[in-house]
Chains A and B, each alone.
Chain A
Amino acid sequence: MTILVTMFPIALIYATPILIAALGGLYSERSGIVNIALEGIMMIGAFVAAAVTVALEPNPLAGYYGILAGVVAGTLFSLLHAFASVHLRADQVVSGTALNILAGGLTIYLCQIFFDQQRTTAFATGIAKVSVPGLAALPGLGPLLFRDVYPTSWLALLLVVATAFCINRTPFGLRLRACGEHPQAAASMGVSVVGMRYAGVLISGALAGLAGATLVLTQDIQYSLTSVHGTGFIALACLIFGKWNPYGVLGAGLFFGFSQATSIYAKDIPLLRQVPQDFFFMLPYLLTVIALVVFSGKSVGPRAAGEVYDPGKR
């Protein structure tokens, strides 16, 4: 139990970008657009955030401007996916793959243009950990959530609640879900399927951009090709493991965060000492395959996700 408490801060740092990107994927998939470009959008967000932070430092708020820039860049980049898959009826998986390839190339290309190397210059602090004076002293939760924590982790937790409210309790969320389940029925009630799907993809772009920015500013010292290293795909796994439900995503995200943190702490835990590090890296992916099989036949995912919207179909 104590080891879990020691691990929690590291797990939370790992879980934060996974959570945020998975929530992004949730908006997109609930609107009916599969978004495997999360990885690529995260790269764009991470690169822009790192570059802006480097440019503005030593301004103490540089990291936060970086995050803002990452969100904007992610949103703009996801516009390509939205345009291709909503307007031009592109195969969403192909379009997503294209965006992933494009992002990997574009970010490193721009690194070479701006920084004359394969990565951005290292930033000094990125964003700093903070403590909340009164709350940090709380027994139990205090040290876990309010002492030496990146504010982005609070943001991630806030986003979970906000997303749950938005998806389940607002007219916007209802319309979004309707477009992902049965777009023709939604259209018959006067909902703009095109508009809702654009909204879904753009929100996913903004959140994936935020996730990328958070990842690079809290876990790395600069942006390089290996900064994002598959976190976008873990987010996709997290979305499925969390059954496309915000609180499910929270649970899955924390679990995956712990599984990554365990790979670091395993040498201190007697039972896990023998397990090779690579197996902990593998765990999220393996569990997702198992989860997919267990959930199969229960139709938990949005039914129309991945289909091209054909207004004439019944």
Chain B
Amino acid sequence: MNGRGGKLLLPVLAVLFGFALGALVLVVTGKSPLGMFEAMLQGVTGYNVETRAFNARHVGEFIAQTLPIILTGLSVGFAFRTGLFNIGAEGQLMAGSTAATAVALWVPAPPGLHVCLVLLAAMAAGGLWGAVPGYLKARFNVHEVVVAIMMNYIALFLNNWAVVELFHSGDRVRTATFPASAMLKSHALSALTSGSRLNWGFVPVLLSLFVYWFIIERTTFGFSLRAVGFNQDGARYAGMKVKRNTIASMVIAGAFAGLAGAVITVGIFSFGRALPAAEGYGFDGIAVALVGGNGALGICFSGLLFGMLKAAQLLMQTQGIPKEIASIIQGSILLFVAMKYGIDYVGRKLRPAKAWEDGS
């Protein structure tokens, strides 16, 4: 499993395993796996195999669903490159969402500028939320995973409080609708896809993918981040600032997740929401980053893969297939990816024997 081929093999195996297990669950519970695959096809291409009808709305929804999880994938992936586990994308997203709501409702600004301010505020809030576990890790050597989990819940309840008390939600569930200048909504894109929720959100997402690739692969800063991820002591010995890099990495990771919050709040929705529980975009990001191998291109593709699962959910439900099969598949894929070391270990044990069999 060396080189590029080996890097691809594991995620592909994990995805196949996940779908196989999902299909098995469907068969055992008396549902049709074919229906699931048809729903996924329809979710991505808009083509309905049964009625032979095409509906562009599904394509638009698929892309709209994919955008935030690519961003949380970038968030988790960025931290992974520095050897940090950002389980806090969920809370950073929520903080970004709250900040986006505040700027959208309170800051008067001309069209064009307003939406940029909304996105920047969300990134700043997400970055701040990421900075807390980053700083505590660097300064007090507290494990970032535990702090980030706690920060997720703090963000959730802070958001709910803000929606009701600060933004004066009448019905305790949502704020007033944002002014059009604050939103990523596009009538043209929506009309093009038969009324889907597709929006300008893909622009910041594409920019983020580029920025991620550029920082990680093309800058000295990105190199020193990766060096810290490979070997902290080595990086410190080479004169790199491990503590500074730890904080910086979490701030940037948080900014990606915060942006995801804005893309959801002012792109898919048009109002701030109080939520009974987190929606799981942060956990999706963990799956996206790990399956995508923490590279920009990989994260983009695995984001599309998990976006497809999300997009197919409603279609499956209408066909009588419980939509939670998507979570079962996603969890299985993640479990399989987690076993990477073990699989590598077994692979290493088998390899010499296999090379000998090949006889070359």
CA distance A113 to B322 in the complex (A): 8
Q: Write out, one digit per residue, whether chain B residues 86-109 have a CB within 8 A of any chain A CB (1) or not (0).
A: 010000000000000000000000
Q: How many A-B residue pairs have CB under 8 A?
A: 158
User: Which residues of chain A are near B54, meaning CB under 8 Å?
Assistant: none
B132, B146, B157, B338: which contacts A236 (Cβ < 8 A)? B146
User: Bound complex: CA of A87 vs CA of B149, how far in Å?
Assistant: 26
Residues from 39 to 71 in B contacting A, C-beta threshold 8 Å: none
User: A174 on the interface (CB 8 Å rule)?
Assistant: no
| Interface size band for B | 35 or more
Contact B342 A89 (CB under 8 A): yes
A85 and B160 CA atoms in complex are apart in Å by 36
On whether the beta carbons of A106 and B328 are closer than 8 Å, the reply is yes
Q: How far is the CB of B60 from chain A (nearest CB, A)?
A: 26
Partner of A292, one of B147, B327, B338: B147
Q: Give the CA-CA distance A292 to B139 in the complex, in Å.
A: 12
Instruction: Please give the distance in Å from B179's CB to the nearest CB on chain A.
Output: 27
Q: Which of B190-198, B209-217, B259-267, B329-337 is the contact stretch?
A: B329-337
How many Å from the CB of A202 to the closest CB on chain B?
17
The docked-state distance in angstroms from the alpha carbon of A104 to that of B327 is 7
> Among the listed stretches A93-101, A140-148, A184-192, which one makes contact with chain B, having 4 or more residues with CB under 8 Å of it?
A93-101
With both chains docked as a complex, state the minimum distance between the C-beta of B284 and any C-beta of chain A, in angstroms. Answer: 9
Asked whether A276 and B339 contact (CB < 8 A) given A108-B324, A293-B142, the answer is no
Interface range for A:
35 or more
Secondary structure dominating the interface of A: helix
Q: Per-residue 0/1 for A73-88: is the Cβ within 8 Å of any B Cβ (1 yes, 0 no)?
A: 0000000100011011
Q: In the complex, which residues of chain B have a beta carbon less than 8 angstroms from the beta carbon of A229?
A: 276-277
Q: Which residue of A lies closest to B163 (CB)?
A: A278
Which residues in window 282-302 of B have CB below 8 A to A?
283, 286-287, 290
Q: Is A10 an interface residue, CB under 8 A from the partner?
A: no
Interface-central residue, B87, B146, B150, B154, by most chain A CB under 10 Å: B150
- Which 5 interchain pairs have the tightest Cβ spacing? A105-B327, A88-B342, A102-B331, A98-B334, A296-B140
Q: Which residues of B contact A (CB under 8 A)?
A: 25, 29-30, 85, 87, 132, 136, 140-143, 145-147, 149-151, 153-154, 157-158, 160-161, 164-165, 276-277, 280, 283, 286-287, 290, 322, 324-328, 330-332, 334-335, 337-343, 345
